[in-house]
Amino acid sequence: MTVSGGLHPWPHPLLAREGWPFIAIAIAAALLVAWIAGPWWSAPLWLLAVFVVQFFRDPPRAHQAEAGAVLSPADGRVVAVMRARDPYTGRDALQVSVFMNVFNVHSNRSPVDGEVTEVRYFPGRFLNAALDKASLENERNALLIRVDGGPSITCVQIAGLIARRILCYAKPGTRLRRGDRFGFIRFGSRVDLYLPLEAVPCASLGDVVYAGQTVLANLKAGDAR
């Protein structure tokens, strides 16, 4: 289920700041080759520049989700909806995972309204992020978020086969609203959510979802406002 509307202003440019150096380098390389060797020789570099620009696009997102709705933290495809053990809190949880390929928007956005209580970084491998074992073996960054008036959830940024940089701007004490941009993962990755077992999933395996818009689950009525 995807919801739309306007709740919060969008404070970020349409092309993510994280990509500005890469975009500048790609365009400069294409211009240099075009100047030295001619436009036909520069064509592959122009295609590369177009790819880099589309990768770092960062369109505005807004929502009108009901209280208790958990929004997707990433664009991509749902690759897991299952009961699992949250390795960061030691609790049984509902796990919902979203895989981002290189054609998805790679900004990460908060799934809930709440306060970040912990941020834990773990070095690791760079396996294909679509694999379940990537959740525990790949480089990753876990945010524990206490939902306003409710339980805590865990949101984990996971590097992928090509990704080599996880960026997280949230710190303990940071307050996030649903849809707020808190990080970025470069070039293919995954985000895992660990929710209370009482949460009701709204997404299924294979669903295409959008960060800050698509509802992945609903918390129990008494758990969030």
- What is the rounded distance in angstroms from the CA atom of residue 47 to the CA atom of residue 25? 13
189 catalytic residue (yes or no): yes
181-184: long-range pairs with CB below 8 Å, 24+: 181/11, 181/12, 181/58, 181/107, 181/108, 181/109, 182/108, 182/109, 182/110, 182/143, 183/107, 183/108, 183/141, 183/157, 184/16, 184/18, 184/106, 184/107, 184/108
Tokens of 139: 């480089």
Query: Which of 42, 72, 110, 189 does the annotation list as catalytic?
Result: 189
Give the catalytic positions in this structure.
189
